[in-house]
């Protein structure tokens, strides 16, 4: 294996369809109009020396190293900033050019420390490479003269250092922060020889606006910005392409390695989801994989009050199988079930649901999508006929109006957030529908045209009012609707939304959104060109989550914003493989590819391949499993890669359900909160330790590749396989590719997917089958999957969760950039420097009324329970609304959330909880004893004691 080197063509690819023919160094070539001479030369294999240019950034033309001669033109223009012209004749190497380039390099080197041998970038430094490329052998000016200002090293960022002594002031970092990341955290302070790169107003990196995405580090051609891991470990010697295991953007990375140790993760330029960009999580937060708290041996215990006993894999698997068989013999076939994980691969998820359907003999399988995007599945399949977003991420580059509802991409989907910001800086308009003033409402060079700060729980009212404006003001695309949708259903829907009770003026009192703003936003979406809707959990995690998804689908159909690039309905998925987990048949009523278990033909297909009879009755959802456990009829649970105690609503009820079971099996990396109630712990593997695929939010199936051996000895799919065998259910696979072959045989939308195709294409978006062998970037182009698009009437029904004198505020929850989900991984990395604890955001008005100061402990109480955390006073939230994250188990925000849920899918109503906030002196009693309880439930007997 060797390091995978990506060619840097110096300037971005031109997308023009007009072609230009020219001659470079005597060779004739044809390239798209707008291509730079540098790139054209690079594409024919001639690397023109360069320092300030890189193909992730627009040409800048400051270093003067890339000079060329052009026939008929005076001087020596920079090849990075000069576009090709028809008939142009270019020379890239002449005596004059050699002399000029050497002169430029001499100046750079005369001002550079001569410590190459001990420099962390030695061997991976473009300055060093360019000195070699221009044949520099000595420097006439010596090194004694005046040097650039050196404000001293900045090591404040936990992941990279800034050493200004090595800076050549090429501005690549500044431009990367602006053009790629869109944060504008860096500037060049000073002028001329005194120029120096500065984060913010001469702050440290950590103290500045920097979000630690790593784009500047990647862009830096010298050792000025360097990953600390490279300084510590040394230069990598081989690399493997794989996919980030954090969020649903699904960024592709090059894992750069020394032996079995990861040196750094570098975003892969050919990654179709991220196009060479990353965020702080995927780029830097992989240290959890070797964290000391990882459990590497299987463990069992007879009772949850006993300490854990480490056992062999054989004993753990045999014990689990015998317990599950005992429970089924005593309480019946339906008394056990399992939960698949959106963090595991498609292949692993497919095996878990196969084990449950085929080995347990029931359909008691559910997944964590139950608590996030299950309404997306339901809402989009009802209206369009398929349970997924309609576009690829590239589509945003053609959007003219972006309607963002209940999503906060710069925190939760950061790389897509950066792509969105880029399009907004190019002039697309933005409408934000969110109770909070999220970053995108106003961020450098981006300002939303409209922010509709609705009251939590009123999405349906607001979207129906937008539809009211579109229909009553004649803004619907009637031609599109007549051709593509069911016309009768459209008319029913149109007369429903046109009712004056749905007018913006009528719903203003309910939603808190000024009618004029709502009208203006609706007009903009309907008439502003390509209108693209992006939404998140602020849409789905409501008692009307499915209704809101249908209201969104209605808006897109009514305005003809579906079925082409630049438009569409795009759910931004939280976890890396939440789309895949749903696709793989993780819901109790569906086989892979969203086919109902009651369908005889489909079921028989699975039965004949799996060799067992399958149940035609849907099984239990997660909340039903917990209810049944409390009722004493559900006794055994296999949980792969989820922490339902921390992530599911109404913690007390979850705990009661788990405590009532006789065998809870947790398969995970760490002893999570759910494991406090487990009898068997099976150590899982990280994404670095296994092969498989993830499917991201744009339906893109991408390879996960093993870069190091599994620390626990088994990949998660191998654990499920062993358990199936022990249960007497036959499954045989030598490699995850064989599992994918089976998925393809059984799932029409995956019929054309294979590891060979993924190797060849990099990735494909489902549906990938005979009709679309290379996948489907944009769906519903010629017609909806279900035939005619279906308009659904979306009556607004207020949630039963009401504010009142006891609980006058509304709590809504969300995520923060540096943390991920329940924090199991990110809390075990340096990312904690940005978020040491969950805080409660309160508007100054609410804080003042309660005498609460910024940073003070407050008690957060609801009908379900109470917790304490510190207050953050901010105008990001409106008066009457409070907000927190749920990343820390010591806070457990879900202690206060209720068991209200979406009417169609049971997705919990995390986003609306009536609460009261009052000043307090510190953590509540349960929080104070939390660490002791956690320690006690995590006791592991030393091996000697265990053997006795
Ligand atoms: S790490 Fe990212 S946000 Fe921070 S300065 Fe560099 S490019 Fe900007
Ligand atoms: S820090 Fe690196 S990228 Fe930025 S100006 Fe200096 S040398 Fe160029
Ligand atoms: S945006 Fe998501 S997928 Fe990309 S690096 Fe960040 S966490 Fe990973
Ligand atoms: S690479 Fe062209 S001017 Fe620097």
Please determine, for residue 716, whether its predicted confidence score (pLDDT) is greater than 90: yes
**Model confidence pLDDT, tens digit, residues 122-140:** 888 999 899 888 887 776 6
Phi-psi region of 585 (alpha: psi -120 to 50; beta: other; left: phi over 0): left
What does the pLDDT read at residue 814? 80
- Of all protein residues, whose CA lies closest to atom 2 belonging to ligand 3? 247
Distance 141 CA to ligand 2 centre (A): 22
* Proximal ligand: closest to the CA of 52: 4
State the maximum Cα–Cα separation within the chain, in Å, rounded to a whole number. Answer: 92
- Of all protein residues, whose CA lies closest to atom 6 belonging to ligand 2? 167
Q: Which residue has the higher pLDDT, 671 or 540?
A: 671
Q: For ligand 4, say whether the CB of 51 is within 6 Å of any of its atoms.
A: yes
Please determine, for residue 945, whether its predicted confidence score (pLDDT) is greater than 50: no
Please determine, for residue 929, whether its predicted confidence score (pLDDT) is greater than 80: no
- Of all protein residues, whose CA lies closest to atom 3 belonging to ligand 4? 61
| Pocket lining for ligand 1, CB < 6 angstroms | 176-177, 181, 183, 185-186, 210-216
Confidence of residue 301 (pLDDT cuts 50, 70, 90): very high
What does the pLDDT read at residue 932? 67
Confidence of residue 946 (pLDDT cuts 50, 70, 90): very low
Query: How crowded is the C-beta side of 379, counted as CA atoms within 13 Å?
Result: 30
Which residue of 173, 215, 445 sits with most ligand 1 atoms within 8 Å of its CB, as the best mutation to test the pocket? Answer: 215
3-state SS class at 495: helix
Confidence of residue 832 (pLDDT cuts 50, 70, 90): confident
What does the pLDDT read at residue 650? 77
Residues 6+ apart with CB under 8 A from 259: 237
Q: For ligand 4, say whether the CB of 53 is within 6 Å of any of its atoms.
A: yes
pTM: 0.92
- Of all protein residues, whose CA lies closest to atom 4 belonging to ligand 3? 251
What kind and span of H or E run contains 898? none
Which residue of 171, 216, 279 sits with most ligand 1 atoms within 8 Å of its CB, as the best mutation to test the pocket? Answer: 216
Question: How confident is the prediction for the chain on average, in pLDDT?
Answer: 91
Distance 277 CA to ligand 2 centre (A): 18
- Of all protein residues, whose CA lies closest to atom 1 belonging to ligand 1? 212
State residue 682 phi and psi, 5-degree precision.
Answer: -110, 115
Give first-to-last CA distance, the chain, whole Å: 46
What does the pLDDT read at residue 937? 65
Please determine, for residue 151, whether its predicted confidence score (pLDDT) is greater than 80: no
* Proximal ligand: closest to the CA of 414: 3
Confidence of residue 10 (pLDDT cuts 50, 70, 90): very high
Which residue of 108, 130, 173, 176 sits with most ligand 2 atoms within 8 Å of its CB, as the best mutation to test the pocket? Answer: 173
Which residue of 195, 223, 225 sits with most ligand 2 atoms within 8 Å of its CB, as the best mutation to test the pocket? Answer: 225
Distance 221 CA to ligand 2 centre (A): 7
List the single range of 225-239, 342-356, 555-569, 795-809 with lowest mean pLDDT.
795-809
What does the pLDDT read at residue 948? 36
Distance 514 CA to ligand 3 centre (A): 35
For residues 456-467, average pLDDT: 94
Which residue of 214, 285, 415, 443 sits with most ligand 1 atoms within 8 Å of its CB, as the best mutation to test the pocket? Answer: 214
Confidence of residue 944 (pLDDT cuts 50, 70, 90): very low
Instruction: State the Rg of the chain over Cα.
Output: 29
Q: Give the start-end residues of each E strand in 537-679.
A: 569-571, 590-591, 595-596, 636-640, 663-668
List the single range of 239-243, 338-342, 358-362, 542-546 with lowest mean pLDDT.
542-546
Distance 274 CA to ligand 1 centre (A): 16
Cis peptide before 661 (omega within 30 of 0): no
CB atoms closer than 10 angstroms to residue 929: 12
Confidence of residue 930 (pLDDT cuts 50, 70, 90): low
Quote the CA–CA distance of 471 and 494 in Å, as a whole number: 6
For residues 178-187, average pLDDT: 96
- Of all protein residues, whose CA lies closest to atom 8 belonging to ligand 2? 170
What does the pLDDT read at residue 935? 65
Which residue of 51, 90, 129, 219 sits with most ligand 4 atoms within 8 Å of its CB, as the best mutation to test the pocket? Answer: 51
| Cα torsion through 351, 354, 360, 364, rounded to 10 | 100
For residues 773-802, average pLDDT: 87
| Cα torsion through 135, 141, 146, 152, rounded to 10 | 30
* Proximal ligand: closest to the CA of 219: 2
Distance 568 CA to ligand 4 centre (A): 39
Q: For ligand 4, say whether the CB of 50 is within 6 Å of any of its atoms.
A: yes
State residue 938 phi and psi, 5-degree precision.
Answer: -110, 15
* Proportion of the chain above pLDDT 70, given as a percent: 96
For residues 885-895, average pLDDT: 74
Distance 135 CA to ligand 3 centre (A): 41
Atom of ligand 1 nearest to the CA of 213: 2
Distance 550 CA to ligand 3 centre (A): 28
* Bridge partners (DSSP) listed for residue 859: 868, 918
Confidence of residue 866 (pLDDT cuts 50, 70, 90): confident
* Proximal ligand: closest to the CA of 148: 2
Distance 674 CA to ligand 4 centre (A): 56
* Proximal ligand: closest to the CA of 215: 1
Q: What are the tokens at 945?
A: 């004691």
Chain length of the chain? 948
**Model confidence pLDDT, tens digit, residues 674-706:** 999 999 999 999 999 999 999 999 999 999 999
What does the pLDDT read at residue 358? 96
* Proportion of the chain above pLDDT 90, given as a percent: 72
* Proximal ligand: closest to the CA of 186: 1
What does the pLDDT read at residue 597? 95
Quote the CA–CA distance of 720 and 25 in Å, as a whole number: 60
Q: Which residue has the higher pLDDT, 763 or 545?
A: 763
């Amino acid at each position: 294996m060797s390091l995978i080197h990506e060619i840097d063509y110096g300037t971005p690819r031109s997308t023009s369809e007009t072609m230009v023919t020219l001659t470079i160094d005597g060779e004739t070539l044809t390239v798209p109009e707008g291509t730079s001479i540098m790139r054209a030369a690079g594409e024919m294999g001639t690397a023109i020396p360069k320092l300030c240019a890189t193909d992730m950034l627009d040409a800048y033309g400051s270093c003067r190293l890339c000079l060329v001669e052009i026939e008929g033109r005076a001087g020596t223009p920079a090849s990075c900033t000069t576009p090709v012209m028809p008939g142009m004749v270019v020379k890239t190497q002449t005596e004059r050019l050699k002399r000029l380039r050497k002169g430029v390099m001499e100046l750079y080197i005369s001002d550079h420390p001569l410590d190459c041998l001990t420099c962390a970038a030695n061997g991976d430094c473009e300055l060093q490479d360019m000195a070699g490329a221009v044949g520099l052998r000595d420097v006439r000016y010596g090194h004694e003269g005046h040097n650039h200002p050196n404000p001293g090293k900045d090591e404040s960022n936990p992941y990279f250092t800034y050493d200004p002594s090595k800076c050549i002031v090429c501005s690549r970092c500044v431009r990367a922060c602006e053009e790629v990341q869109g944060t504008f955290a860096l500037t060049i302070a000073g002028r001329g020889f005194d120029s120096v790169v500065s984060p913010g107003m001469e702050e440290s990196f950590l103290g500045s606006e920097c979000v630690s995405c790593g784009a500047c580090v990647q862009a830096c051609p010298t050792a000025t910005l360097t990953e600390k891991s490279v300084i510590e470990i040394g230069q990598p010697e081989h690399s493997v392409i794989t996919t980030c295991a954090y969020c649903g953007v699904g960024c592709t990375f090059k894992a750069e390695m020394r032996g079995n140790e990861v040196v750094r993760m570098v975003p892969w330029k050919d990654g179709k989801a991220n196009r060479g960009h990353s965020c702080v999580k995927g780029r830097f937060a992989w240290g959890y994989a070797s964290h000391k708290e990882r459990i590497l041996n299987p463990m069992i215990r007879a009772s949850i009050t006993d300490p854990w006993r480490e056992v062999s894999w054989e004993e753990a698997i045999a014990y689990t199988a015998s317990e599950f068989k005992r429970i089924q013999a005593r309480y019946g076939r339906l008394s056990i079930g399992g939960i698949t994980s959106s963090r595991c691969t498609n292949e692993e998820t497919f095996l878990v649901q196969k084990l449950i359907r085929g080995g347990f003999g029931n359909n008691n399988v559910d997944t964590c999508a139950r608590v996030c995007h299950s309404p997306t599945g339901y809402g989009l399949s009802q209206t369009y006929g398929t349970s997924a977003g309609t576009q690829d991420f590239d589509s945003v580059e053609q959007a003219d109006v972006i309607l963002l509802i209940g999503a906060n991409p710069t925190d939760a989907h950061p790389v897509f957030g950066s792509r969105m910001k880029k399009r907004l800086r190019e002039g697309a308009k933005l409408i934000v529908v969110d109770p909070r003033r999220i970053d995108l409402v106003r961020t450098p060079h981006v300002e939303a045209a409209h922010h509709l700060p609705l009251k939590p729980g009123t999405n349906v009212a607001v979207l129906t009012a937008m539809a009211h404006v579109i229909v009553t003001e004649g803004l619907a695309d009637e031609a599109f609707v007549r051709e593509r949708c069911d016309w009768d259903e459209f008319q029913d829907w149109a007369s429903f939304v046109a009712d004056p009770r749905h007018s913006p003026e009528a719903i203003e009192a309910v939603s808190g959104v000024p009618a004029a703003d709502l009208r203006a936003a609706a007009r903009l979406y309907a008439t502003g060109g390509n209108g693209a809707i992006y939404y998140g959990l602020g849409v789905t995690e409501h008692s009307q989550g499915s209704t809101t998804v249908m209201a969104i689908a209605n808006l897109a159909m009514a305005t003809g914003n579906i079925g082409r690039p630049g438009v569409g309905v795009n759910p931004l998925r939280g976890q890396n493989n939440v789309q895949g987990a749903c696709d793989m048949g993780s819901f109790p009523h569906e086989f892979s590819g969203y086919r109902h278990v009651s369908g005889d033909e489909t079921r028989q297909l699975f039965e004949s391949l799996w060799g067992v009879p399958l149940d035609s009755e849907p099984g239990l959802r997660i909340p039903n499993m917990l209810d049944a456990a409390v009722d004493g009829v559900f006794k055994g649970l296999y949980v792969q890669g989820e922490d339902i105690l921390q992530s599911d609503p109404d913690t007390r009820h979850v705990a009661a359900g788990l405590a009532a079971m006789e065998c809870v099996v947790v398969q995970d990396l760490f002893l999570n909160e759910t494991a406090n109630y487990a009898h068997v712990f099976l150590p899982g593997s990280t994404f670095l330790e296994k092969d498989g695929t993830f499917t991201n939010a744009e339906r893109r199936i991408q390879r996960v590749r093993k870069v190091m051996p599994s620390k626990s000895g088994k990949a998660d799919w191998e654990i499920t396989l062993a358990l199936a065998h022990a249960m007497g259910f036959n499954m045989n696979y030598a490699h995850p590719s064989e599992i994918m072959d089976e998925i393809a045989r059984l799932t029409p939308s995956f019929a054309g997917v294979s590891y060979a195709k993924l190797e060849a294409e990099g990735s494909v978006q489902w549906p990938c089958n005979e009709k679309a062998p290379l996948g489907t970037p944009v769906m519903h182009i010629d017609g909806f999957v279900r035939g005619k698009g279906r308009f659904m009437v979306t009556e607004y029904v207020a949630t039963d969760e009401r504010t009142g004198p006891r609980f006058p505020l509304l709590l809504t929850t969300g995520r923060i950039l540096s943390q991920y989900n329940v924090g199991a991984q990110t809390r075990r990395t340096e990312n904690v420097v940005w978020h040491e604890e969950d805080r409660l955001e309160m508007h100054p008005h609410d804080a003042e009324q309660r005498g609460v100061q910024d940073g003070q402990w407050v008690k957060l109480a609801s009908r379900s329970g109470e917790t304490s955390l510190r207050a953050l006073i901010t105008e990001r939230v409106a008066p009457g609304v409070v907000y927190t994250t749920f990343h820390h188990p010591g806070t457990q925000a879900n202690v206060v959330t209720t068991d209200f849920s979406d009417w169609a899918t049971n997705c919990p109503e995390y986003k609306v909880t009536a609460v009261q906030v009052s000043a307090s002196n510190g953590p509540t009693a349960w929080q104070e004893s939390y660490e002791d309880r956690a320690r006690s439930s995590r006791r592991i007997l030393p091996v000697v004691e265990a053997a006795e």
